Each structure stands twice: as C-alpha cells, then as structure tokens.
Amino acid sequence: MNTVVFESPLGLVRVSGDVDGVSVISCTDVSQTEGASVNKPDQAMAEPVQQAVQQLQEYFAGSRQTFDFLLNPAGTEFQQTVWKALLDVPFGTTQSYLALSRRIGDEKAIRAVAAANGRNPLWIVVPCHRIIGSDGSLTGYAGGLWRKKWLLEHEGAFAKSSQLSLF
C-alpha cells in the first residue's frame, strides 16, 4: 500500500492505494497530524495513487471537476451501491439524502444511506459533500461542516455567502 500526504486548503490530505486503485482519501487538520510528514508521489508509487494526488491538486487549483483514476474502496455491498450513486451527483450541484435514497431504489433506507455516506472512504472524489438535508442544511459531514461548506462554495454549488445553513 502506498500513501502520500500533501497540503491542501482544507488541511493535510492522505491518499492511500495500490495498483488495484485508491482505497482511502481523507483530510485532517495539520494540528491533528503529529508525526505525519508531507511527501510527494514518486515513480515507485502505484499509478492510481500518483494520478489521485495530481487530480486532487488540480481540483483544489480550480482546474478539475471530475476524476478518472482507479478506485478501490472497501465496503459492504450496500455501501458500494450508495458510493456508486454518489458518483452520479455532478460537480456544482447538491442532492438531498432523501433524493439519494430514492435513486438507489429505497426511500425508507434514508438513515442507512446517510450512514453509508458518512463512511465514504474516498473524500471529495466520491462526492458525499454534495449531499445535504432536504431543507438545504449542511448536515452530517465527517470532515467537519466548515469543510463541506468550503467544498460546495469551491464547486459553485452555493455562492460564498451566509446563504448556507450549517445546522
């Protein structure tokens, strides 16, 4: 397993994976990464990891809206179904948890969908940040609601203003 850590506007991003694909992308505050060192992908690293780092850096720079490297997240069949559905939520848009539940074919599974969304191991790339409450609130984001707001503003889903409800 190869792991790269790099700085982003939202903290340190950790990308892990191998030749079968990227399995984890996460972000933490710099203050919470005691002992973690920022590194760069090198030629010995698996190609999907190298591609992920490059594409995420392009995303943060505002020059990329989609990702096309190989993904390999570990999860249950249900979680995989939810994560695949998340991939269909376009850049610059949002969708409610209820709408996502309906898209996977089970409106009553809204709590399970929300739980699977919260266990998404591929931050940004599988865009769980684009899922919001039916009332437009930014509920349920493991990376912190301030990061979710930043990502949605970065993508143009919301104007940079106080229009966004954090609760």
Q: Taking the CA atoms of 81, 86, 90 and 95 in sequence, report the sign of the dihedral they define.
A: positive
- Number of folded domains in the chain? 2
Model confidence over 53-112: pLDDT tens digits? 999 999 999 999 999 999 999 999 999 999 999 999 999 999 999 999 999 999 999 999
Q: Are 86 and 128 in contact (CB under 8 A)?
A: yes
**Which candidate in 82, 89, 128, 138 is catalytic?**
128
Residue 33 predicted with pLDDT over 70: no
Note whether residue 160 is domain-resident. Answer: no
Note whether residue 108 is domain-resident. Answer: yes
Q: Are residues 141 and 110 in the same domain?
A: yes
Tell me the CA distances in angstroms from 50 to 34, 39, 120, one per residue in order: 24, 12, 21
pTM attached to this predicted model: 0.89
Please say if 27 is a catalytic residue: no
% the chain with pLDDT above 70: 89
Q: Are residues 57 and 123 in the same domain?
A: no
How buried is residue 152: exposed, middle or buried, by Cβ count under 10 Å (0-12/13-18/19+)?
Answer: buried
Q: Which CATH number covers residue 57?
A: 3.30.160
Q: Are residues 46 and 100 in the same domain?
A: no
Residue 35 predicted with pLDDT over 70: no
- Could you tell me the residue range of the domain that residue 140 belongs to? 77-154
Q: Are residues 15 and 44 in the same domain?
A: yes
